[in-house]
Amino acid sequence: MSVHCQQSPVLAGSATLAALGALVLYLAKPSGYGKYSESLMPAATRLPARAAWFLQELPSFAVPAGILARQPRSLFGQPATVLLGLFCAHYFHRTFVYSLLTRGRPFPVAFLVRGFVFCMGNGLLQAYYLVYCAEYPAEWYTDVRFSLGVFLFILGMGINIHSDYILRQLRKPGEVIYRIPQGGLFTYVSGANFLGEVIEWTGYALATWSLPALAFAFFSLCFLGLRAFHHHRFYLKMFEDYPKYRKALIPFIF
């Protein structure tokens, strides 16, 4: 059975992502996981961080990968499937690598459920648009939007993975103490891992030149930017010797 593009759910899903991003900024509250979990959700039921991250991120990989797997092989190598492959690559790492390495705090189940629903919806939106709606010319691979976008995506993913590695080295297994991150882009910003992911999804939006990816990049900037702001404020309060020149998310600016 062939599936034809329906623009209405694509527009609705994109508008929902953008609205969620704006709502996050409007509320301006820290997310209820990680270092803010105990103060914001003291009585919440929790799962170990590794299991929670695996379950939360899984739909963002499984849904697009499942849709890709059902496509005829003649479509593989087309710009849309290559771009969706990049999305799957990010979430393969988040699901099967990051989740198994993280040393984070136990994760509130309520936040996990919200994250799971978000990841499933966003994975479906991005995959549906690219597979059934997107139309790219044969020369898209040589278009500057594709080239620059993929470069930014790979750069951002590299920054994100390297920054996560630096953060893991701050703690021995079982520790929950906080230390000042040093090295990499942490030299300039408190949220180097978040900056990497913002760069990633900005590149993805550029390479796909699509409304769903733009909406997701906007949501990521709002959600991760606010998280970087709260992290920065947390570090400034906790450490008297915290570097004064270090910004929250964007070097030298914010």
CB 105 within 8 A of CB 176: yes
pLDDT in tens, 152-191: 999 999 999 999 999 999 888 777 788 999 999 999 999 9
* Domain encompassing residue 14: 9-238
Residue at 1 is within a domain: no
Q: If you average pLDDT over each of 45-54, 145-154, 168-177, which comes out highest?
A: 145-154
pLDDT > 70? residue 32: no
Report if residue 150 sits inside a domain: yes
User: Given this model, what pLDDT does residue 3 score?
Assistant: 75
Contacts of 159 (CB under 8 A, 6+ apart): 184, 185, 192, 193, 195, 196, 199
How far apart, in Å, are the Cα atoms of 164 and each of 102, 147, 169? 8, 26, 9
Q: Has residue 134 got a pLDDT over 90?
A: yes
The per-residue pLDDT for 245 is 93
State pLDDT tens for residues 205-224. 999 999 999 999 999 999 99
Q: Which residues pair with 107 in a beta bridge?
A: 47
- Tell whether the model's pLDDT for residue 35 goes beyond 70: no
Residue indicated by tokens 């849309």: 80
Q: Is residue 250 part of a domain?
A: no
Q: Tell me, yes or no, whether 251 lies in a domain.
A: no
Q: Report pLDDT digits (tens) over 239-248.
A: 999 999 999 9
Query: What pLDDT was estimated at residue 1?
Result: 44
Q: What is the mean pLDDT of the chain?
A: 92
Is 186 part of any domain? yes
Confidence tier at 38 by pLDDT (50, 70, 90): low
Q: What is the pTM of this model?
A: 0.92
Say how many domains are in the chain: 1
DSSP string, 226-245: HHHHHHHHHHHHH-TT--TT
Residue 144 has pLDDT above 60, yes or no: yes
Cα–Cα dist 221/144, whole Å? 23
The pair of structure tokens assigned to 232 is 């920065």
- DSSP-derived secondary structure letter, 138: G
Residue 154 lies in a domain: yes
Contact of 79 with 140, CB cutoff 8 Å:
yes
Q: Tally the C-alpha atoms within 13 A of residue 147's C-alpha that lie toward its C-beta.
A: 5
Q: What proportion of the chain, given as a percentage, has pLDDT over 70?
A: 94
Is pLDDT above 60 for 110?
yes
Give the rounded percent of residues in the chain with a pLDDT score beyond 90. 80
- The answer to whether residue 243 is domain-embedded is no
Q: Is the pLDDT of residue 37 over 60?
A: no
pLDDT tops 70 at residue 41: no
User: Is 87 within a domain?
Assistant: yes
